[in-house]
Amino acid sequence: MARRARGRSRDPRWRAVGLLALVLPLTGALLAALLTPWVVGPSLAASTTASLLAPLPVELTDATPPGNTAVLATDGSVITYFYRHDRTPVRADQMADVVRQALVDIEDERFYEHNGLDVQGTLRALVRNLASGGVQEGGSTITQQLVKQTLLQSAPTPEERQAATEQSLTRKLREARLALALEREHSKEEILTRYLNLVYFGEGAYGVQTAAQTYFGVDAGDLTLPQAAVLAGLVQTPTADDPLVDPERARQRRDVVLRRMHAHGHVTDRQLAEATAEPVRTDPAPAPPNGCVGAGLAGFFCDFLQRYLTDTLGISRERLEQGGLTVRTTMRADLQRSAEAAVQASLPLGDPLAAMFTAVEPGTGNLLAMAVNRRYGFDAADPAQESVNLNVAASQGAGSTYKVFVAAAALERGIPPWHVITTSEPYVSRVYRNGTAPYVVDNVGESYPPTLTMQEALVRSSNTYFVALEDELGSVEGPVRMAQRMGLTSLDPVADQVVAQNRGSFTLGPEATSPLALASAYSTLGANGTRCAPVPVVEVLDRHGRPLTRADGGPLGNGASCQPDAVPPQVATTLNQILVGDTALPIGTGTRAAVPGHQIAGKTGTSQDRFSVAFVGYTPRYAASVMVLNPKRNQDVGGFGGGRGAQIWHDAMLPVLSAEAPTPFPPPGIPLGPAPQVPPS
């Protein structure tokens, strides 16, 4: 008897019975509902009746399943997608008629006759499957399959996904009731179109458009008869009949579909002969990028964007991946490309030194580009990959770029640009200390006159002048608070400590600095004193193309936070005119950043022991920082901010600025006094 039992388990007919028991729906659902009180008792009957009478789930009220969330640059080009299920919904007229017919013929040949439940079709499927020794045809109608797959794919938790597939009387009755309700509320064409957009075809492809691309590299509207038959055959067994893995088995399944279409008069003798004579030919298109790892070199912009969407705008990860949203970002694709080329021309991918270029728009805070000689990724063994957003992280100082904050505080205090200070070399501070010892500072090189105006000292980047200027201010609190007002958010965690310790070194920029925060702070000057927090989003549209809204009814994503007069306009405009000299005058330290015909204000910086170099350049339309450092350890990067930093800035901005008319800065709000003295050549 034991041998006979094992023999039966191997018999194809018995396997078919077992398999069919898993997929056969309760097509006599209404009759079962009537008999339930006598069969299962009043307790289960009550819960079953409640389930049957429940309203349609919201997932089943939508006509089309959502597709991938698309992330777009300002020119409409795709940066990446976010998706859990790779799906691109298409309209009925964008699907080849032959694929619609193939699916109906193999899955539900009485689709246009029944009302969502098909007792006759179920019995027919039972007979065919028993005769063939395998599951050649499912017992569920397309409408019932649509109900099951919709509830399964939209389930947010493992528990709900399990409930959507459990073998229980309650689930089957509920699916039957929902299938009948769908047939009352939607046309057959709507149900078929939605099913073809929803069903899984294997290889990560959900919906017929994605499947057509995945296997054949064509759109759903261009599918041929043999291709359509392959896809229709995949619905029941997408893994077993995968044409990319087992073309011969896929061909056999395809031919079953073709013969079924022929039997129903939808394929001619000649079409059947020609189609079955062909081997299965595949030409898969690459899957669309998914998430920030798939965004290529724009992955760090994507990382900042994703955190903004979830943490600031409150869009859940589930909605981001399954909501079919359109995210219109602030990223300038042209600037992103030129910035990527510039950083890699200076330092190749994977070099121990990292070069970060970060650009924002003055007056809006729009984040325009984030480039670094790394790819966003999580493979720690690959030196070209990095999961930490180096454009945002604060790891090293930015050197003399901080002198601008001291100058702004002095101008606001009423000290004019022509204010003269004579310093010794080295200079010993009268106010600040280095522990218990005096604070002593030197200039780099020997080209610094002892007597300078503030304007000259800023263009030349004199260390001794600016420590002496801090002496006259009496405290670093003014410069520190000015930096914070301008938007140097990376300073916030240590600002109070710097003030409490009255660190005279503040003007030399030793504090860990975020490249994004540095660009943002200088953009406040470019906007003549208006500070705007960096934002990566223009708007977020729902799956129907309507803007998502905030609680106040305003469009979600249009949330630029700007503060006019964060810096007095007369101070900002004065500094702009002074800092133009950094790139335009021979004594300036950032002349490599100059672009002929354009006014570019800028400031160089080099941290202690040259562990980092920096350059910040800006116009009324663009503000961008460059920082070069080793993010893993302290390393002398070589040179100064006016070298590699200014050069990267120039190379990134040259294509963009050259294509635009110059935008000059407004005149200074405070008279500058005599021009800086240029020594004779």
In a domain, 665, yes or no: no
Print burial letters for 558-586: b (CB count within 10 Å at least 16), e (below 16).
Answer: ebbeeeeebbbeebbbbbbbbbbbbbbbe
Q: Are 362 and 618 in contact (CB under 8 A)?
A: yes
Tell me: do 409 and 265 sit in the same domain: no
In a domain, 362, yes or no: no
Residue 278 scores a pLDDT above 60: yes
Tell me: do 268 and 414 sit in the same domain: no
Tell me: do 254 and 119 sit in the same domain: yes
| CATH number for position 643 | 3.40.710.10
Predicted confidence (pLDDT) per residue in 402-424, tens digit: 999 999 999 999 999 999 999 99
Between residues 42 and 326, the one the model is more confident about: 326
In a domain, 250, yes or no: yes
Predicted confidence (pLDDT) per residue in 568-600, tens digit: 999 999 999 999 999 999 999 999 999 999 999
In a domain, 485, yes or no: yes
* Kind of pairing between the strands at 78-82 and 537-541: unpaired
Which of 277, 294, 329 represents a domain boundary (last residue)?
277
- Find the Cα–Cα–Cα–Cα dihedral 382, 385, 389, 394, rounded to 10°: 50
Q: What is the pLDDT of residue 104?
A: 97
* Kind of pairing between the strands at 375-376 and 385-386: parallel
Angle at 185 between CA 181 and CA 191, to 5 degrees: 90
Residue 19 scores a pLDDT above 50: no
The beta-strand segments (E) located in 435-509 are 437-441, 451-453
Tell me: do 266 and 404 sit in the same domain: no
Q: What is the pLDDT of residue 681?
A: 44
Residue 6 scores a pLDDT above 60: no
Q: What is the pLDDT of residue 4?
A: 38
Between residues 661 and 155, the one the model is more confident about: 661
Residue 673 scores a pLDDT above 90: no
Q: Are 367 and 308 in contact (CB under 8 A)?
A: no
Read off the pLDDT band of 49 (50, 70, 90).
Answer: very low
In this structure, which amino acid lies at residue 92?
A
| 85-94: average pLDDT | 96
In a domain, 640, yes or no: yes
| CATH number for position 162 | 1.10.3810.10
Residue 355 scores a pLDDT above 60: yes
Q: What is the pLDDT of residue 58?
A: 61
Which region among 58-67, 218-227, 268-277, 360-369 has the lowest average model confidence (pLDDT)? 58-67
In a domain, 284, yes or no: no
Number of domains into which the chain is organized: 2
Read off the pLDDT band of 168 (50, 70, 90).
Answer: confident
Count the neighbouring beta carbons within 10 Å of the beta carbon of residue 660. 11
Q: What is the pLDDT of residue 132?
A: 59
Q: What is the pLDDT of residue 11?
A: 54
| 141-167: average pLDDT | 82
Give the residue carrying structure tokens 């795709």.
Answer: 78
Q: Are 300 and 389 in contact (CB under 8 A)?
A: yes
Read off the pLDDT band of 650 (50, 70, 90).
Answer: very high
Q: Are 325 and 542 in contact (CB under 8 A)?
A: yes
Q: What is the pLDDT of residue 172?
A: 80
Predicted confidence (pLDDT) per residue in 314-352, tens digit: 999 999 999 999 999 999 999 999 999 999 999 999 999
Residues of the chain above pLDDT 70, percent = 87
Q: What is the pLDDT of residue 139?
A: 57
In a domain, 112, yes or no: yes
User: In a 3-state reduction of DSSP, which class is residue 7?
Assistant: helix
Q: What is the pLDDT of residue 131?
A: 60
Q: What is the pLDDT of residue 596?
A: 95
| 165-188: average pLDDT | 84
Q: What is the pLDDT of residue 563?
A: 95
Q: What is the pLDDT of residue 23?
A: 41
Mean pLDDT of the chain, nearest integer: 88
Tell me: do 441 and 579 sit in the same domain: yes
Residue 566 scores a pLDDT above 70: yes
Predicted confidence (pLDDT) per residue in 141-150, tens digit: 999 999 988 8
Range from 202-211, 445-454, 666-675 that averages highest in pLDDT: 202-211
Residue 222 scores a pLDDT above 70: yes
Angle at 15 between CA 13 and CA 19, to 5 degrees: 120
Q: Are 649 and 619 in contact (CB under 8 A)?
A: no
In a domain, 19, yes or no: yes
Alpha-carbon distance of 492 to 363, in angstroms, equals: 22
**Domain limits for position 133:** 2-54+87-277
| 43-60: average pLDDT | 49
* Kind of pairing between the strands at 326-329 and 537-541: antiparallel
